[in-house]
Amino acid sequence: MIRDGVVQSDARGDEIEIDATGCVLTPGLVNAHHHLLQSAFRTLPGTRGVPMATWLPTMAAAYARVGVDAELAAAAASVGVAEGLLCGVTTVADHHLTWPAGADDVAISTAVADAAGALGGRLVFVRGAARDDPQAAAAGAEAIAAAWSADGEAAGLARDGMLQLAVGPAGVHSDPRETFELLGEVAARHGLRRRTQANEQVDVDIARERYGLRPIDLLDEWGWLAPDVTLAHLCAVTDAEIARLAAAGVSATHAPGCDVPMGWGVAPVADLLAAGLAVGLGTSGGGSNDAGHLLADARLAMQVSGLVGPALPARTVLALATEGSARGLGRDELGHLRVGAAADVCVWDVSGAADAGVADPVAGLLWASPGRRPRDVFVAGRPVVRAGTLLTADEHAVATRLRRTLAARER
């Protein structure tokens, strides 16, 4: 029973009726690692199947050419959030890493938040840093926290749970110890969670060259192995490092839709889970994935898991995309449909030809029908997608806005 945006155990008050005949219901999917800005930079020449050392400067040049500001951030976020909702993603964590010199942190972050809010999706905005001046990065995060807490709500969680703030450098390959420490201080002052990327291809190489250590060693020295920290990617971790992460209470985010096609590696998810880590799932951004379809990435995660350990069952991977991701965000009310959960619900029609003969319709969500989309999506009990159509905006108008914004800047 859904009442007042929450899953209830009784039938009192207003009810929401859902005809789920021939359907499977799941919690709303939680995309624990996205870069929404990159929705404006998909399939760029020179960015596919290349080493990360090549990919990073190519993407940076594209950002500089187009110009990153609140207008572009809002247009790209609208596309990314709309795409996610249509694919069943009710919560998205946006690790925003691109802050040009003199950028207005509050304007950009608020533009992204307003875009997500207008569409009815939950947003976790991560004030990131990528080679930013450490003091400027911390000041920007502090300014956002101050602005978002001005209405009396905590900066870490506002707008009735629809908006959350976190902080996170891109990684030790990009940012120095000072950035990690200063953003950590902002997080401690405001009760924010911390997120970063670790043990990708470039991350390991640069850590060794620059510091003579591996990324996990540095994160430990810099105070970033703790229960409030989530590490994305973790493609190249040793058994000893996994044990250290588990002992520290760190959570992880798997991003196979980025790492696999780019050739950057596969995280040993089964080993992470066996060690006791909470593991979520993320798409990463359009600059490496090209899509924000988390269920498609869950299918990929399931299919490639056997390459680095025991193959993961479909239900385990579906749990990564829901409750596993929510745990990494510190959101106990998301990612499940037990009493007290936020009423974020996806209704998946499994009555068609693609699902005929499927013995387990829950497992079939991943195994059958690649590219599957939900029929209906609810966020906090409110319908945002019905019969596969976005209700909160004209999907084509959202896409046209981004196309026109880009065209005007690339003349």
Q: Are 10 and 339 in contact (CB under 8 A)?
A: no
pLDDT at residue 19 in the model = 85
The parts of the chain modelled with pLDDT lower than 70 are 1, 3-4, 9-16, 150-155, 411
pLDDT at residue 391 in the model = 98
What's the rounded Cα separation, in Å, for the pair 384 and 207? 44
Q: How many CB atoms lie within 10 A of CB 396?
A: 9
Closest CA to 28 of 147, 123, 125: 123
**Within 67-213, where are the H helices?**
70-86, 105-119, 134-148, 177-190, 201-211
pLDDT per residue as tens digits for the range 176-193: 999 999 999 999 999 999
Domain hosting 366: range is 2-409
Chain-centroid distance, C-alpha 8: 27
pLDDT at residue 322 in the model = 98
**Location of structure tokens 């005929």:** 356
pLDDT at residue 411 in the model = 66
b/e per residue, 321-353, with b = 16+ CB within 10 A? bbbbbbbbbbbeebbbbeeebbbbbbbbbbeee
What's the rounded Cα separation, in Å, for the pair 40 and 286? 7
Which residues, at least 6 apart from 81, have a Cβ–Cβ distance to it below 8 Å?
A: 36, 92, 115, 116, 119, 121, 123
Q: What are phi and psi of 92, to 5 degrees?
A: -130, 135
Work out how many domains the chain is built from and give that number: 1
- CA-to-CA dists, residue 374 to 33, 226, 265, 293, 340, angstroms: 21, 36, 30, 11, 23
Which residues, at least 6 apart from 358, have a Cβ–Cβ distance to it below 8 Å?
A: 350, 364, 367, 368
Q: DSSP string spanning 334-365?
A: SS--STT-B--EEEEE--SGGGTT-S-HHHHH
pLDDT at residue 405 in the model = 97
Q: What are phi and psi of 232, to 5 degrees?
A: -90, 150
Q: What is the CATH number of the domain that holds 300?
A: 3.20.20.140
pLDDT at residue 152 in the model = 53
Reading the block at residue 324, the tokens are 């596993």
* Strands 157-158 and 122-129, sheet pairing: unpaired
pLDDT per residue as tens digits for the range 372-386: 999 999 999 999 999
- Kindly report the pTM of this predicted structure: 0.96
Q: Are 189 and 182 in contact (CB under 8 A)?
A: no
Q: For the CA atoms of 287, 257, 105, 330, what is the dihedral angle to 10 degrees?
A: 180
Strands in 234-273 per DSSP E: 251-254
Q: How many residues appear in the chain?
A: 411
| Residue 100 CA neighbour count, 13 Å, CB half | 16
